[in-house]
Structure formats: C-alpha cells, structure tokens
Amino acid sequence: MSLALPALRGAPPDPAALVAALEASLQERCRHLLTLADRTPYAPSYGCFDRSWWQYKIKDFPSGMSQECLYPLALALEQRLFPQLSAAAGQELRRLIQAGAAFSLQGQHGNGSVDDYFPYEQAAGATAFSLFAILEAQRLGALELPSELLPRLARRLYWLAQHRESGRLSNHEALISLCLARGAALLGDPALAAVARQRFERLMSWRSEEGWFEEYGGFDVGYESLTFACLRELAEALPECRPRVQDLLDGHARLILAAVEPDGCLGGELFARATWNWFGHGLLAHAIERADRGDGDAELELLLRVLEARWIRYPTAVRDDFVIQHHLWSDLRCLPLLRGLVAAGWGASQPGGAADLPPSQIERQLPQAGHLWLRHGDCCTHVSLRLGGAFRLYRQERFVVQDTQLALRVEPRPRGLLRWRRPAAATYLATAQAPELRWCWEDAATLRIEGPLSAYRPQPMTPLKLIVLRLLMLSLGRYWADGIRALMQRLLIAARPDPQRSFVRRLRFRDDGLVVEDRVRLPAAEAAQASLIPTTFSSFRHVVMSRVFHPYALELQEPLRSALGQDGPGLSLERRW
C-alpha cells in the first residue's frame, strides 16, 4: 500500500537547533531522575526510583515500572550528558544503576514478574520494560550483573516467555519478543530464542491489512512508533525473522509518518489510546539509513519536523514522577543520531520553501484505522471516524481547534421518599470506538458519522475500594492476576453502547472553514434534564499515558457561531469555525 505523506510548508528544520533543544530537555529530565532515586547506600530501598514509596510513604509497594529509570541514566553516562561530571560522581551514578537493577530483581515475585499499580498485579508491561532497561544497561556496560542475580533475571525471562496478557497490546508483544531475544543471547539459551520467534509470529498475526499493529482494537500512532523500533532491533536479534521485518519496515515507517498533522504534531486524543507517546529513535535511525542510500530525504525531513514540533514548537515531554522515564530513553537514543546529522552537514543545502499543497480533496486516509485528512480551501481537517468524528482543524497549517465529540449529561429527577437525595448524573460519550459506528458521504463536502452513545462510568478510587482491592489481590488476585486485569479492562476501557441514546455528526467542509452539526437522540422523558457538553481533550478509555497536557490547549479558538437547539426527542448543536 502506497501512502501519501503530508506536505509541510516552510524551511526544513535545522538539526543543530534540534540538538540544542533536546540536550537542554534531556539534562533537566535526567537530573530529575536523581531526585526520584533513593541514593542512600545503606538503605534497604537503595536504588529504588519510586519516590512515592520510599520517601513520601503514600504507597504500600514500589512500582516495578519505576526501575526503567536506570536505562536513561546509563544512556546519559554513555553520552556524557551531565556537564562537568566528576570521576567520583560518575562512579556514584554507576553504583546507583547497579543498585537499581539489584532492587528490581530482588524485589520481583517468585515467578519473576513485578507489579505496577496494585500488589500481585504481575503486570507484563512493567515486567518487560524494567527487564529491557536492565538488559540494555548491561549491553552498554553501565552495570554488571553478579552471578547470584542471573537466576532471577532468567526467572523474569521465563515468566515473560510463557505469559499471555489479556488484551492485544502490540507494543508489549514486540518488546517482550525483543527482551526474549536479548536474554537468549545473554544466557546462551536457544529455548528462549525459539519462544522469541513464536512471540514474533504472534505479533505479526495482529498486523492489520493497512499495516498497523493493534492496540486495544485500534491504531495508536504513538505506541506504533515503539512497535516499529522493537521490530527494527528484532531484525538484528533474530536473524531468522530479518527478511520479513526488512520487507515491512519501509511501509511501516511511511504509515506512521502519514499520520503527521499539518504543523508537524503527531498523536493525541484522536487515536486509539489517546496518548501523545513518541518513541522516535527507531524511525529516526531508519530514515537516516534511507537518506544515506539516497531514497529517503523527504521522510527524514518530515521526521525532523515531527521532532521540531515535539521538542521546540509544542514541547510535550511528560515530566511527572511516575512516567518521566518512559520516553526519556528513546529521546536519549535520538540525540547521537541528530549529532551525526549535524556533523554530516545535513540540511545545509536543503532549499525548503513553501510546499505545493493539493487542492480541495482527501489528502490522506487510513480507512481501516478510521483516519481521514481532508483539505478544503486554506484549511485541513483530520477526522477520527472510529472515535465518533472527533477532529482537529488547521488553517494555513496552524492549529485552530480540537474537538473530542460532545458529552451528553442527563440529570435524573429525584422521586418519592428519596427526593432529598440527589442521584448522580449520567454521562454518555460518542468516542468509545464502538463497532456500531457508521459513516458515509452525503455529498461531496458533507461527511456523516452516526452510532450509539456509550455510558461513561468513571471509577475514582476511595478508601473502601482500595481496601477491597488490597484484600482481593492478597487472596485471590495473586493466583488470578490475569482475570483481575481483564475485569479492570472491561470497567475502564471496554465500551458499553446504549441503544436508547445515539448521535449523528455532520461535518461540512467549506473553503472558508468547517461547520459541525450534531444531533443527539435520547428518551423523551430525559430531554428536560439533558445537556450537551463540548469537549476538546477528552477520551473514553482510561489509559495511564493519556490525558497529559499538550500546548494545543493554549491555542484553542472559539467557534465563530454556535447554536444550541431542541430537535424533537433530542438536542442539537451547530458550530462553525
């Protein structure tokens, strides 16, 4: 499948400016890792990076994912990222990385797994990411595992080898395959290499006809970048799989870059997991290799524009204590690649200038994933069809507005003796990626999306819920962790379409802007208590990496016209930008 890449205006990014911006960001974030770590050598928590546990004491167990921090620290040492680092301080950091690996392996469960959000969770993601950090730090020479820890490392590998988590998360499957291949080489275990090949085949069975890999039933471009990076390294770690991986890499990279917005941003609430995740090192290395062969300059320039948007124009690095490390190691791996471009003088002779943008038409589309980019006049609109017609509007390649569909709020009417007690309002959303959604073109400039609304039932934690969850995990949960995970996915991620409540959205693409007409149907008895709430950065699914701040939120523009009305047994809202 051949995909058109977006045409972006302006001169190509300067790799030297990207290096300067990235170095400043990396230094700040890597210093913060040292605040998260317990650096007291005599403490039992020496090497733990979960500050909420060892310092604040607001948790009763450390998160296994936090130990992923040791990998970016190892990369920072290798790249001499800390200016004026003394020899003694460097040795101190190496001891901290060594202690972090030991803390992770000594604190794992007997079967080799680790927990992430609740005890005895036995989370495949946290187990794989923390293991990957240990294996990569060891490959860099930043730590040397003592012989007494090797059996624990093997136990973690064997648990990942036989474990099958609920839900299809392709980035996890790709990372697990890579960890097993790396572990097989380290331990000299051909059985692990065989399982790595089996997991690779399982991952390939999750590839859609369009070329993307499934994340909870849809296409999430941020996690897709991690899957791409893992596949690229698997081609080296598993020689038997190399031909198949190499056959798909060019098309896979082009698929990801086809989702770039007119201003260079990539990801967010319009994709399956609503994240701004980005693991760009694999794509950058691949694009540089293609450019060196003389056939990838356009893709490399587009990728540099993505990095410019992420690190300079719209900085989106997540710096909270829990996930700061999650993209940090990938950004660190981008730095030497960009330095290489600067040294080679890439971009110095690139002409740049205004791109020749296409006339009013569908510019790009991924029908199976449900994404459409349409150019009309001086505007470009990105529509997420499988998320109920959520969209982003750009004018002259500048962000105007993002809309993540309307929320229907119904205030129930108290009755009888309980009139004094006000029941909770019910909320229904259209962005649940339900299979019942339908879309069609009513005419050349009007797109119609319709389907059922889904009940949105948030599950905030309370002391009672936490107590019940602890008791459950300490008893049944330790033996049935996958069942508990599947149950929580049903509560927090799976959609529950409501046949009594539905929506119709019409997007009218005009040369001077965009008109959005929404109709919501609901039982007549609820109409008087119902209201519509426009949302801009909302998501139906509970995904830990979602709902982070993006600078788009500071540039939202109000509609030029907005009209709310009654539409028979329902509500209507028309807006124009």
Angstrom distance (rounded) from CA 454 to CA 498 = 5
Domain-wise residue ranges, the chain: 25-144+317-345, 167-314, 361-576
Domain 167-314: CATH class, spelled out: mainly alpha
More confident site: 286 or 421: 286
Residues 428-442 have a mean pLDDT of 84
pLDDT at 184: 96
pLDDT at 331: 96
Specify the pairing of strand 390-395 against strand 379-384.
antiparallel
Least confident of 116-120, 255-259, 278-282, 461-465: 461-465
- Nearest CA to 195 among 165, 156, 161? 161
pLDDT confidence tier of residue 415, bands split at 50, 70 and 90: low
pLDDT at 439: 92
pLDDT above 70 covers a percentage of the chain that reads 95
pLDDT above 90 covers a percentage of the chain that reads 65
More confident site: 541 or 45: 45
What is the average pLDDT score of the chain? 89
pTM of the model: 0.88
pLDDT digits (tens, 9 = 90+) for 484-527: 777 777 766 677 788 888 999 999 999 999 999 999 999 988 88
CB 47 within 8 A of CB 38: yes
Least confident of 328-332, 398-402, 477-481, 551-555: 477-481
Q: Nearest 5°: phi and psi at 424?
A: -75, 145
SS3 279: coil
Stated as kind and residue range, the H or E segment containing 409 is strand 406-410
Q: DSSP letter string over 446-510?
A: EEEEEEEEEEE------HHHHHHHHHHHHTTGGG-HHHHHHHHHHHHT---EEEEEEEEEEEEEE
pLDDT digits (tens, 9 = 90+) for 331-387: 999 999 999 999 988 865 444 444 444 455 888 899 999 999 999 999 999 999 999
Question: Measured between alpha carbons, how far is residue 171 from residues 24, 248, 281, 473, 487 in Å?
Answer: 28, 16, 15, 26, 21
Q: Cα angle vertex 574, ends 405, 367, to 5°?
A: 45
SS3 27: helix
pLDDT confidence tier of residue 538, bands split at 50, 70 and 90: confident
Residues 181-191 have a mean pLDDT of 95
pLDDT(14) > 70: yes
